[in-house]
Structure 1
Amino acid sequence: MWRVDLLQAAAVASVAVAIALFLAEGGAARFGDPGSALTSLGIIAGLAATDLVLVMLLLAARVPLIERAVGHDSAMALHTRLGKPVLLLLLAHGVLLLAGYAIADGVGLVAEAVAIWLLPDLPLAVLGFALFLAVVASSLVAVRRRLRYEVWHVIHLLVYVAVLAALPHQFGVGGLFVVGTWQWAYWLAITFGTFAAVVGWRVVAPLVATFRHGLVVERIDPVGDPGDGVVSVTMHGRRLGALRATGGQFFIWRFLAAGQWWQAHPYSLSAAPRADRLRITVRALGDGSASLAGIRPGTRVALEGPYGIFSEASRSRRRLTLVAAGIGVTPIRSLLESATFRPGEATVVLRTQGPAEGWLLDEVRELCHRRGATLITVPGGRGRGWLTPSAERQGLDLLALVPAIADSDLYVCGPRGWAEGVISEARAAGLADEQIHHERFDW
């Protein structure tokens, strides 16, 4: 948790630096009259918005330092939370500048808007704002639920076009960033530094990993009832140990087959990584995952990662409790295989709708037997909380199932509402935030 707080503090500090440089290099003297004051406030709003947009891009760039410090989920959660404040700051930027210029020129808002529109690079800046508005709108929960992942992903790529469209007016209109000033150097450095990180970690690094490791689909194995649409995909490649992946982590996978190559999806490892093999287990929940069953052996695979801190790296206690629901068993199973613990120190709780939904259950049972972990299965429909109605009538909860839970690290993976129920009981049982590790199971 403190790492996330530190990351948020760094974002605030970067905004403070941007505003301080503006004030130090003449901005403080611009508040002498109402028109200039409004203009200055508009500039400050624009500086803050632009700085935070770059922070958002950096959070989504999958920079290893950020990924290892706070995890992919936390980084993307902060990225999402910044969207609305940035949009409001951009609106304030435009409105305050328009009002300030209108007062200074002694004209109405409409006349001033026409005059500003004729300035160089302003149409591009407006285009950038419109694109950013589309990106933020696509992130609203009500909208996101209606979009396929692929469509949502393409819309989000527009944020890079939005930033590039706004750059000319930032360095050109008004002469705010004079060449040779600290402001000019700061903005040039953070802008190109951010785009270098995006290109390096989102484009170059995945290409290098793909060609270096030569990952190829070895086989596709159905899991459980064929009607469930769950398959395990085993891939082999070269020097996979160099990826330094561990159980519980995930990669962004792109299967280079017709109709598939343009789709990239995050899937967790469902078995501990080996020097020459990786495995994922996927349920058909969308077009991309549904088509995996038809992938042929020999298909080449592009990958990004590994990502996530749902792994040994996050542990703070000797004991281990792993709780999963449905297909959320995949990272739990790989973590169970690779985690370090002695017999009696680990407990696995699997929540299923029924015997038919016990995907990878036989593998988990065998691992628990071999490693001395306790396995608890809870089959049946969901009750008011995360357990079944039958379990709730018996007064069972997380503490009753795992008496040593307060002295354990808890790893939870499953649907959001269900996982929140588990985490709520964990906190009630006395677990600190550092002991709770939650793998988000949505996009």
Structure 2
Amino acid sequence: MADALKIGIAGLGTVGASLVRIIQERAENLTVTCGRPIVITAVTARDRTRDRGIDLSAIKWFNSAEELAAKADIDVFVELMGGANGPADASVRAALKRGLHVVTANKALLASHGVELAALAEEKGALLNFEAAVAGGIPVIKALRESLTGNTVSRVYGIMNGTCNYILTKMEKEGLSFDACLKEAQRLGYAEADPAFDIEGNDTAHKLAILTTLAFGNRISADDIYLEGITNISIEDIRAAADLGYRIKLLGVAQRTETGIEQRVHPTMVPVESVIAQVDGVTNAVAIESDILGELLMVGPGAGGNATASAVLGDIADIAKSRPGAQRVPSLGRPAIKLEPYKRAQMRKHEGGYFIRMTVEDRAGVFAHIAGHMAENNISLESIVQRSATHLDTTEPKTIILVTHATMEASIRKAVEAIKGEGYLLGEPQVIRIERPRP
């Protein structure tokens, strides 16, 4: 039997502690399935005294991640600290420069420095694995990097943030406000004390940028993503969507077009009968559309200690099964030097159309004015509905809901700005893209 694969882990939070426990509890089975023992020999964390419910007595402690990466007697460096820069970046680079294999769950690090790190890994003949960085326990990285070889991918999209999906699900099912659902998510540990990174869409954007590179062979470009979070979604939007036969989800979408690659993250209305509309709570879902396979949809836990640790362990097992001198699968699907510059697609019609909700004063001619501004911007309306809170007071503000056919977002924004200038609009209008199933 081959020598043991020696692991060093930087970061012993929820994921790190789960990883240690699983490896220790399943050591015998891992040895059989991987053909060699997997042994944790070195760790580092901010607090040595914390009780994590795992036995670390036989494992060597290091004072820092950088020290562990540079000096520990290990074969694989596992980075579970997080952060795009600082100790995470420095320690991963130090490990790769030694020729150590690296496993990370750090999407922020990859979104910022993934191409450089992949190039360094290739130069040193090391593996850089990161299945846990996107969609938790769903094996979407392996699918894009290995399983779909030979397919031409046209679109990748999905629900990639469990916090946002939990909030939107709870708003719909319990009729609660965004703020109330966010507080509940924080109480349950689904959202951080400062949830901005999740609810404003940044977490999804980092994951989408990585998937875009694997799908289309371009350099990672997280800064070229149209980004909109869920903080402006109201219970009124949730109810209106339901009345129209839709659910609201925060989607990340990347697709190849004739003029380049389009990347966007934003709240989206999806048909209630679609599979992705049924993905509730903290669950994630990623769909891949390709010419040979068609559409592949993968659904599973997107976060949590066990789910993420499972993905990390899968990457470690792949390394344990590999043999020196064997052909390495490039970290980003193709050699880093072969990645093409990112070319942002030109603006084009959004085929699904748009949902627009606005509250207006009850004046004569408002309907006609709104319809006129839409027509002036070549926007075709599928439906227009007026609502009021009660049927008793005919002078109270009205809610007007528009659903458009395919049109340009610039046209929508121009029409809305013109309507705002009329003086009868109360508050900010809500504009949400609609995604309909492709024929």
Q: What TM-score does the superposition give when structure 2 sets the normalisation length?
A: 0.26
TM-score of the superposed pair, with normalisation by structure 1: 0.26
Structure (1/2) with the larger strand percentage = 2
| Structure label with greater radius of gyration | 1
